[in-house]
Structure formats: structure tokens, C-alpha cells
Amino acid sequence: MKGGRRGAAAFAVLAMVAMTACEREPRRHVVEIGAMAYEPAALEVAMGDTVAWSNGDVVPHTVTFANGESDADHLDRGDTLEIVAREAGTVQYRCRYHPSMVATLIVR
Amino acid sequence: MPTIRIALAAALMGAAVPAASQERLDDLEMTHVAVTASNIDVAYAHLALALSDNQAVRDFAETMIRDHTAVNEQIFALAKRLGVTAKDNEMSQKLLADAARTKDELSRLRGAAFDRRYLQNEQAYHRTVNGVVENSFIPNLQNPEVKQAFQAALRVFREHERHAGLALQSVATR
């Protein structure tokens, strides 16, 4: 995973809280970044699941939450950003570089 | 593998048809035009970073540098892998001559006048080049990998065209 990084602590929007015991095993979901879009554009996950954004596009992108803007979310081609969903809710994120790139993460 | 007449592309660029317009552009010449067009846009962006204090303009310019540099790097990597070199041609030269005039015009402007003119040019430049790439280059490229690279680049440049329009709206309302 070239240039991969973990951003579990980087996003206030997914505040860190102790993960409650859950009966299912946490899953890993992948959002592919390509063709100037996030795919899927809307993703529903469970608390404790990991979401990985993988940039396979020609150009760099970001995965930037409403109140989590940071240079740490810059993804070059081949980079992957992972976070663990810790709080239920629906949040939008976007690419800071490309205004038309927006998507939604739903944590149940 | 001759594919496209310069005359067609030049007409789409709104340019006078060069005298040697009966020549045709092959894959390597179209690649040279695309790389040249990207380099021109990077040069415009550096001018914007030197002359503008507007954050929307500066953000847009930084994206142009970041994206066009990345696209060109991939084209160079593909060319290296294929063992070929992009070929200079009359259309590339025409683009450079037009760009020199535009840079001269832009460099005389300051403040809001510069911001508006820079973004107007960016929107128009991307719209025109995107039209040529979509309607003239991609249908005529022979190498599938090169065609795929152009298709990926076009998606990026379409976003630039939209982005320029949004940024232009933001400076127009200031």
C-alpha cells in the first residue's frame, strides 16, 4: 500500500469514543477514488468498521470532512487513507481540490 | 498512422489555419499538443500565484499546477514505457505563440481585473482544449493506452473547466 496512512485520529467529525461491544466482526470497506469521483458516492457502515479511501486517479485528491480540513488528507495516486467509524451519523466529505467531488458516509 | 488534419484542430482552437495545414497529427503529435497545453496552463498558474492575493484564484492556480503536472508525468511515463517521444508540431507552436500573447496581457493587469481575466481565460482555454481533445484527438488516437490516458486526462480537465466557472462567479460577486 504505497504511501498508505491511517487517519483514525484525524477527523473530529468521527469523534473518538470507546467502541461498544458488538456482535459482528468489524468490516473493511473500500471507496475507490477514480475518474474524478468517489465510488461508491454514498457508503453505509457500522460503528467499528474501517473505511479505506484508495486513490487510483490520475491526480491527487483529498478526503476532507466538514470540520476536519487538513493537509494530512492529501492522497497522491496510489495512496490510501483509512479511518475507523466511531460515531453514528451521516457526514459529507469532499475533495478540497475539486469542487464537484462530494460524497456521503453513513455510520449506523 | 496519420489520423487528423491540423486544419480541423486549429479551427476548433479558433486559430488561423497554418499554411502547412495539410499535414496530419499522429499520436505522438497529439501527445505533444496535450503536454504543451498543460505546460501553458501551469505557466498561467504561476503567473496567478505571483500576481493575485485572492484565495479562490490562488487555490485554483495551485490545483492547475498539481493536476497538470501529474497528468504530464503520467504521459511521460507512458511514452517512456512505449519507447516513444512526443513530436513537436505546428499546432503546439501555435498554442505557445497564443499563450505568450495571453501571458503578456495578463501580466499587465492587477487586482480584481487580473483575477477576472485569469479565470475567464482559464474557463475558455479549458473549454476549447477539452473540445479538441474530446472531438478530434480521442476519436483519432491509434494506441489504446494513449487513448485511455487522454480519456482520463479529459475527465480532469472537464473538472477544471467547471472549477474555473465557480471561481469566476466568486470573484465576480466580490
Is A102 in a helix, a strand, or coil?
strand
Nearest CA among A5, A23, A1, A17 for reference residue A87: A17
Is B153 part of the contact surface with chain A (CB cutoff 8 Å)?
yes
- Please judge whether A100 and B156 are an interchain contact, meaning their C-beta atoms are less than 8 angstroms apart: no
Is B172 part of the contact surface with chain A (CB cutoff 8 Å)?
no
Per-residue pLDDT at A17 exceeds 50: no
Q: Which positions in chain A touch B152 (Cβ < 8 Å)?
A: 35, 57-58
Residue that is written with C-alpha cell 479565470 in the block:
B119
- Model pLDDT, residue A69: 56
Question: Rounded to whole angstroms, how far apart are CA atoms B30 and B97?
Answer: 17
- Model pLDDT, residue A70: 62
Is A44 in a helix, a strand, or coil?
strand
Is B163 part of the contact surface with chain A (CB cutoff 8 Å)?
yes
Task: Please write the tens of the pLDDT for every residue from B33-58.
Answer: 999 999 999 999 999 999 999 999 99
Task: Please write the tens of the pLDDT for every residue from B113-167.
Answer: 999 999 999 999 999 999 999 999 999 999 999 999 999 999 999 999 999 999 9
Number of CB pairs, chain A paired with chain B, less than 8 A apart:
36
> Smallest Cβ distance to B66: which of A35, A36, A60?
A60
Task: Please write the tens of the pLDDT for every residue from B54-88.
Answer: 999 999 999 999 999 999 999 999 999 999 999 99
- Please judge whether A60 and B71 are an interchain contact, meaning their C-beta atoms are less than 8 angstroms apart: no
Is B32 part of the contact surface with chain A (CB cutoff 8 Å)?
no
Q: Tell me which of A75, A79, A97 to substitute to probe the interface with B (most B C-beta atoms closer than 10 Å).
A: A97
Q: Which positions in chain A touch B74 (Cβ < 8 Å)?
A: 58
ipTM of the complex: 0.85
pLDDT tier at A7, thresholds 50, 70, 90: very low
Q: Judge contact between B157 and B133, C-beta under 8 A.
A: yes
- Please judge whether B63 and A36 are an interchain contact, meaning their C-beta atoms are less than 8 angstroms apart: no
- Please judge whether B70 and A59 are an interchain contact, meaning their C-beta atoms are less than 8 angstroms apart: yes
- Please judge whether A99 and B162 are an interchain contact, meaning their C-beta atoms are less than 8 angstroms apart: yes
Q: What stretch of H or E contains B34?
A: helix B27-51
Nearest CA among B130, B101, B106, B104 for reference residue B118: B106
Task: Please write the tens of the pLDDT for every residue from A19-74.
Answer: 444 468 999 999 999 999 999 999 999 999 999 999 999 999 999 998 665 657 89
Is A58 part of the contact surface with chain B (CB cutoff 8 Å)?
yes
Angle, CA of B171, A58 and B13, to the nearest 5°: 60
* Maximum Cα–Cα distance across chain B: 51
Nearest CA among B159, B148, B160, B156 for reference residue B75: B148
Chain A nearest-CA residue for B60: A97
